[in-house]
Structure formats: C-alpha cells, structure tokens
Amino acid sequence: MSNQIIQGILLGGYYALIACGLSFMFSVMRIINLAHGSLAVLAAYALWFLALRLHVSPFVGLLVVLPLMAAIGWALQRFLLERSARGGALLPILTTFGLAIVIDNMLFEQFGANTRSLAPYIGSLSYDSWEWPGSIYVGKLAVIMFATAVVLLGGLQLFLSRTGLGRAIRATSEDPDTSGLVGVDARRANAVAAAIAMVTVGLAGAFLGMRATFDPYAGAPQLLFAFEAAVIGGAGSLWGTLIGGIVLALAQTLGAQVHPQGFLIGGHAVFLIVLFVRLSMAGLSLRSLLKPPSRSAP
Amino acid sequence: MSFLAVEDLVVRHGLLQAVRGVTFGVERGETLALVGANGAGKTTLLRAIAGAHQPAAGRVLLGDADLTNVPSHKRVGMGIALVPEGRKLFVRMSVEENLLLGRTAGRPGDWSVDKVLEMFPNLKPRRHAKTGHLSGGEQQATAIGRALMSNPDVLLLDEVSLGLSPAIVERVYDALQGLIASGTTIILVEQDLSRALSVSDKVICMLEGRIALAADSKSVSRDDVTKAYFGLHRQKAEPA
C-alpha cells in the first residue's frame, strides 16, 4: 500500500504541472482554456521533432520550446483571448475549444495518427528507478517531475508575491479597472500571465512525452486531468493545485488496486465528490443546479 | 493656459449623458472642490480625468499634453492619480502591497511606503494586514497613500469622507492639509459643503452634468453654492 501511495504522490507532481497553467489562467484572466491539453501536446511534438530531426535532447530542446510557448501565450492573449473576452464569458471558452480542434487536426495533418514518445531520447531515465527499503521502486523521472512541480509552484508563488510584475498580475486578476487607475497596464499583465501559463504548459507537455506516449488527440485527457486537479485543489490556488494533483493521482492509483478500470473511475469519483462538496458549501445544491430557470412574470 | 484643463467634456454612460460640455481649469498647486447633488456628474468627471471613462467629446489637457485618448495607466505615469469613491483597494493584498502597486508607473519622487506610514501612523501596525480586514478609516488612508505613491502632480479625491466617522474624517483632512500645503494640485469631490469651501481655492458646483457655479471659494457665499446645488441659481459655465 505504501508503494501505491508514494507512486500516487509522485504522479500528483505531473498533474500539478499540467493543472498549474490552467489554474493560473483562470485565476488571472477568468478564462477556462480548453486548448490547454492540446497546447501541451503541441509542446511535446515540438520537442519530439527537435529530437528526431536535429538530435536535440528534450531537456535541451526546452530552451527553445519554452520561450516559443511563452511567445504563443503572449500572442494568444493579445490577438485571440483579449478580443474574444469582450464578447462575454462564454466566447473565450468557445474560442479555446475551437483552438483545440485546430491544433489537434493540424498535428494530425502534419504528423499522422501514430503515437510518439520522448522516452527514447532521454536514455534510460523514463524507466530508471531507485530502490527504497521495503522493495519500493521510485522512478527517477517521477521524482524529477515532482521536484519540478514544487520548484515551479514555489517560484510562481515568489514571483507573484515579491515582484512588481507579480503584484500587477494579482491586482489585474482582482480588479482590472482599478489596476489601470494605479498605473498597471492590465493588457500587459494579462499577456505576461498567459506567457507564464504557456511555459508551464510546455513543461507539462515535455513530461507527458517523457513518461508516456502521445498522439495528436492526446490533449483532451490531459485537459480533463488538469481540470480535475485544479478543481480538487481549488482553482486559482497554486499550492492547492499541487494538493489537487496529489489527491487525484492517489485516487487513481488506489482505484487501480481495486479494479483494472479503477484508475480513471477513482479519479473521476473523487473529482465529483469534491465538486459537489464545494457547490454545497457555496450554497448550490444538486437540485437547484438541475432546476430549470424560472420564467419571470411579464 | 491652466496646468490641468478640461474643455467641453462630454461623457456618456450608455444613453445617459452624465457630463455635458464641462469646461474648467486648475492651476498648479491649486485645490479645486467639486460639489453637487448625487448624480450631478462629479464622479464621472473625475474618472474621465483619470482615464477610467472615455469621453464622447471634448479634451483633457495636462500642461501641453492632450490626455483625452491616453489610457488610465499611462495617465498615472504622466502625473494624475485618483483616489476612487469606495476606495477600491485590492482586498486580497496587504497594505504594503497596495501601496507598492501605486509605484508601478515609476514616476520619480519622494513618496515611499515609510513616508505614507509616517503620514498615517494608524497604518503602521497594519502594514502586513490584508486591506479587506481594515476599518473604513484605515482603508481610506491606504487608498490615499496608494495614490501618493505614484508621486502625482494632480491628485483626484473622490468622496474621501464617505462612510467615515467624524473623528476619522478629521484625521484624513489633517493629512490632506499637509498635501495642500506642499503644493500638490488637488481636485476634490466632497459632499460636505463647509469642508469643501474651507480647504479649496476654487469651487465648482455641478448640476445634471453641467457647471451650475464656478467661483473663488474664499469669496463665494455658502448661500450661492447652496442655490446652485439645488438648481435655484444658474451661472453660465466659465473657465475657472
């Protein structure tokens, strides 16, 4: 059992990484980015392409891909999300949904339906492990992912609380109109936040490719895991994202012990339980959510 | 030409014309009081000067610079700071963080967190407290301090005494007297007529989006301002 718990906690690091950007974009820009998973897969493909064609290690490839992802985030915010946000809360969601379809099909068109992996380009790291007392095997890559998640979340926390730009991003997320009145350029703050979110997506994509296989349509399940981890941990809370990732991964790992299909079912079950508890605490019962809206008297 | 000039300014909220062709000027170091009943357009006018509302017509000039189409964050960098009605603090951030945000525009000047805390000593023990947990007076002091941190040439104060106890209002106005004495140009929206007249050099009374009276605070009678306030006396708007 202790082995499953340790594996679950380490897997939680990966989920925290992929949920971090989703949660960050939601907390700052109030945008649920449905292209989140597809963008992670795009980053994985970029690293795979660099490794295949130019023989660049995926770790070195990150030096190219992460700035590229930051630029994509900046451009997405400036030219797509900012404009669609003017049309109400629903339009950015539909826009990112459309963007996900475009990315998925573009990758399919370009690279075909074959599954790919970055594992062959990182030596034995994807399967190397340390043996701990009690016959517990801890994957080196899993430990690296977990450590990366902790450093990334800690770094983001420091950035947001200790730097002027971080404070500007927090102010914009709290009240964009007033932030302008104190000298904060809300458009710039949002664009920087989107760039940061995409860097975390790039990292998540890299680890996705290193620990598993991916194909052009692998984004949807990654989005689902990210969404579940973010909701469990409390969207907008950085350390909550890590806790959410760990809880999700533990539920999946322990669920897999009960039944072969319990991996996914365990995660979804915990997500739904947390969701309903949160809704209940917010005063929203299942009955009130399912009730059709009442018609107002003419 | 005035240091800050507003020319034929028209501001709309949808179909409602909140400010209707307002023209006035403020010299450097002057204090102008804007008075008027609720809905007269004072707050909208102040927010339009700060850049929070885009005017439908007219101009806002600071020195030689036309600010009319300059976004609000850039106006802070050019020397205009607003203390908004209702304080509008970032309640999830501490007093110190709110004050530091005021420095975002990077204008050079003397104001620092320590200087603001010296001006408002009641904030000292609350420096790291979230502003959502502060009293009304402490929140108002933080809002004024945040505006001062941008080292403004023109300070716009919107109803700084609203919702505060008389003792706290007294303390806030004591602090403002120091600012007035230091030569900061101030435009003040105030409901308390006596106080508005006592601290200002000029007074403008607004009625239904227009200037009903523009006069020297020291020479105008309270009765004249009251008449203008209730629309009993209209004076053709003149550049003040």
CATH code of the domain in which B194 resides: 3.40.50.300
pLDDT value of residue A11: 93
Is residue A201 assigned to a domain?
yes
CB contact under 8 A, A182 and B91: no
User: Does the pLDDT of residue B234 top 70, yes or no?
Assistant: no
ipTM of this predicted complex? 0.88
pTM here? 0.86
Is residue A294 assigned to a domain?
no
Helix axes A186-211, A164-174, angle to 10 degrees: 100
Least CB–CB distance from A167: residue in B82, B88, B100: B100
**Residue-range definition of the domain harbouring residue A103:** 7-249
pLDDT value of residue B175: 82
pLDDT value of residue B174: 84
Helix axes A186-211, A2-29, angle to 10 degrees: 160
Is residue A164 assigned to a domain?
yes
Which residues 6+ apart lie within 8 Å of B215 measured at CB?
Answer: B202, B203, B224, B225, B240
CB contact under 8 A, A170 and B50: no
pLDDT tens, B196-228? 898 999 999 999 999 999 999 988 888 888 888
What value does the mean pLDDT take over residues B64-78? 94
CA distance B110 to chain A (A): 17
Tell me the chain B residues in contact with residue A182 when contact means C-beta distances shorter than 8 Å. Answer: 76, 81, 101-102, 104, 146-147, 150
Least CB–CB distance from B97: residue in A167, A177, A183: A167
Give residue ranges of B with CB < 8 Å to any A CB: 50-52, 71-73, 76-77, 81-82, 84, 88, 90-93, 97, 100-106, 146-147, 150
* Distance in angstroms (rounded) separating the CA atoms of residues A229 and A214: 20
CA distance A80 to chain B (A): 21
CA-wise closest residue to B141 among B165, B157, B122, B166: B122
| Reduced 3-state DSSP string for chain B | CCCEEEEEEEEEECCEEEEEEEEEEECCCCEEEEEECCCCCHHHHHHHHHCCCCCCEEEEEECCEECCCCCHHHHHHHCEEEECCCCCCCCCCEHHHHHHHCCCCCCCCCCCHHHHHHHCHHHHHHCCCEHHHCCHHHHHHHHHHHHHCCCCCEEEEECCCCCCCHHHHHHHHHHHHHHHHCCCEEEEECCCHHHHHHHCCEEEEEECCEEEEEEECCCCCHHHHHHHHCCCCCCCCCCC
Q: DSSP character for A79? A: I
Domain CATH for A178: 1.10.3470
Angle subtended at Cα A226 by Cα A103 and Cα A94, rounded to the nearest 5 degrees: 45
pLDDT value of residue A296: 44
CA distance B211 to chain A (A): 25
Helix axes A186-211, A140-162, angle to 10 degrees: 170
How confident is the prediction along chain A (298 residues), in pLDDT tens digits per residue? 788 889 899 999 999 999 999 998 888 888 899 999 999 999 999 999 999 999 999 999 999 999 999 999 999 999 999 999 888 889 999 999 999 999 999 999 999 999 999 999 999 998 898 888 888 889 999 999 999 999 999 999 999 999 999 999 999 999 989 999 999 999 999 999 999 999 999 999 999 999 999 999 999 999 999 999 999 988 778 889 999 999 999 999 999 988 888 888 999 999 999 998 888 887 766 666 556 555 444 4
pLDDT value of residue A55: 94
Which residues 6+ apart lie within 8 Å of A134 measured at CB?
Answer: A2, A3
Is residue B185 assigned to a domain?
yes
**Residue-range definition of the domain harbouring residue B9:** 4-229
pLDDT value of residue A297: 42
Least CB–CB distance from A183: residue in B52, B73, B90: B73
Token pair for A252: 């999946």
* A281 lies within 8 A of chain B by CB: no
Least CB–CB distance from B76: residue in A164, A171, A183: A183
Least CB–CB distance from B101: residue in A177, A182, A186: A182
Token pair for B122: 């009641």
Q: What percent of chain B has pLDDT over 90?
A: 64
Is residue B240 assigned to a domain?
no
Is residue A256 assigned to a domain?
no
Instruction: Return the minimum-mean-pLDDT range out of A28-32, B10-14, B137-141.
Output: A28-32
CB contact under 8 A, A183 and B50: no
Count the alpha carbons within 13 Å of A205 in the hemisphere toward its beta carbon: 33
Structurally, how many domains does chain A consist of? Answer: 1
Is residue A291 assigned to a domain?
no
Least CB–CB distance from A174: residue in B73, B90, B150: B90
Is residue B199 assigned to a domain?
yes
Tell me the chain B residues in contact with residue A164 when contact means C-beta distances shorter than 8 Å. Answer: 100, 103-104
Tell me the chain B residues in contact with residue A171 when contact means C-beta distances shorter than 8 Å. Answer: 90, 93, 101
CB contact under 8 A, B84 and A181: yes
A·B CB contacts under 8 A: 69
User: Does the pLDDT of residue B231 top 90, yes or no?
Assistant: no
Is residue A295 assigned to a domain?
no
Tell me the chain A residues in contact with residue B76 when contact means C-beta distances shorter than 8 Å. Answer: 181-183
Is residue B235 assigned to a domain?
no
Q: Residues 178-197, chain A: which have Cβ within 8 Å of B?
A: 178-186
* Distance in angstroms (rounded) separating the CA atoms of residues B36 and B198: 16
Least CB–CB distance from B104: residue in A177, A178, A183: A183
Instruction: Return the minimum-mean-pLDDT range out of A62-66, A104-108, B46-50, B179-183.
Output: B179-183
Structurally, how many domains does chain B consist of? Answer: 1
Q: DSSP character for A81? A: I
CB contact under 8 A, A181 and B105: no
How many DSSP H helices and E strands does chain A contain? 13, 2
Which residues 6+ apart lie within 8 Å of B237 measured at CB?
Answer: B21, B22, B23, B24, B210, B211, B214
Is residue B36 assigned to a domain?
yes
Is residue A278 assigned to a domain?
no
Q: DSSP character for A121? A: G
